[in-house]
Amino acid sequence: MRKITAGLFISLDGVVAEPQDWHFPYFNDEMGEAVGAQLGEADTLLLGRVTYEGFAGAWPEREAAGGEDAGMAKAFGDARKIVVSQQELSFSWRNSEQLQGDLVAGVAALKAEAGESAIGMSGSPSIVRQLLEAGLIDELHLLVHPIALQSGLKLFAEGQPIPLDLLSAKAFKTGVVHLVYGPAELPAPVDYDEMVNRESGQGA
């Protein structure tokens, strides 16, 4: 079973929309290393249409330019890129294809394919949310920025609870915190009296 890792830039109040408008002042080498590590172990990228178009509009040119990030640009170009969209798409960036059929069933089939490399996701919040609800994401990397935007699309909307287990946490010099979560079981409900007993040391 292949692992799926998803990475998102997110504000303190949970906004993930339009990160190009608020994210860049917080970018540094620490964040670059974190993003590179999460996507660098993947030989397959799973992307929503909007995120894919952003990647396809930037990374091929960076690869051709041969600058500092040309190595990462080439890795993205060489990776298998699977795009989720309800529209029929055509591609000019190499190794790109469209996910066919149902999202959850299609991604479950990808996870079941042979191979040890991870499937990486970047952005694509609506797809991340659906895959979290389906229990298909193994690592959720949230780069929490120290800013409350107070408007914009949030990662989590109304719906059923999604329990998560904190796997790691690291604070960057910019105040960004890199949190990595994995799937977890929903904890058993605890009423007020039981909570008080636990706090006072009287619980089992």
Task: State the pLDDT at residue 186.
Answer: 84
Percent of the chain with pLDDT over 90: 84
Question: What's the pLDDT band for 204 if we cut at 50, 70, 90?
Answer: very low
* pLDDT tens digit sequence for 171-182: 999 999 999 999
Q: pTM of the predicted model, to two decimals? A: 0.90
Distance CA 135, CA 147 (A): 29
Provide the strand spans (E) within the chain.
Answer: 4-11, 42-48, 80-84, 96-98, 118-122, 139-145, 164-171, 177-183
Distance CA 36, CA 47 (A): 16
47-57 burial by CB neighbour count: b if 16+ within 10 A, else e? bbbebbeebbe
Task: State the pLDDT at residue 189.
Answer: 80
* pLDDT tens digit sequence for 39-73: 988 999 999 999 999 999 999 999 999 998 899 99
Distance CA 172, CA 30 (A): 7
Run of H or E residues at 111: helix 103-112
List the domain boundaries for the chain: 4-199
* pLDDT tens digit sequence for 116-165: 899 999 999 999 999 999 999 999 999 999 999 999 999 997 788 899 99
Q: What is the mean pLDDT of residues 102-121?
A: 95
Distances (CA, A) of 128 to 17, 30, 120, 149, 189: 13, 24, 11, 21, 27
CATH code given to domain 4-199: 3.40.430.10
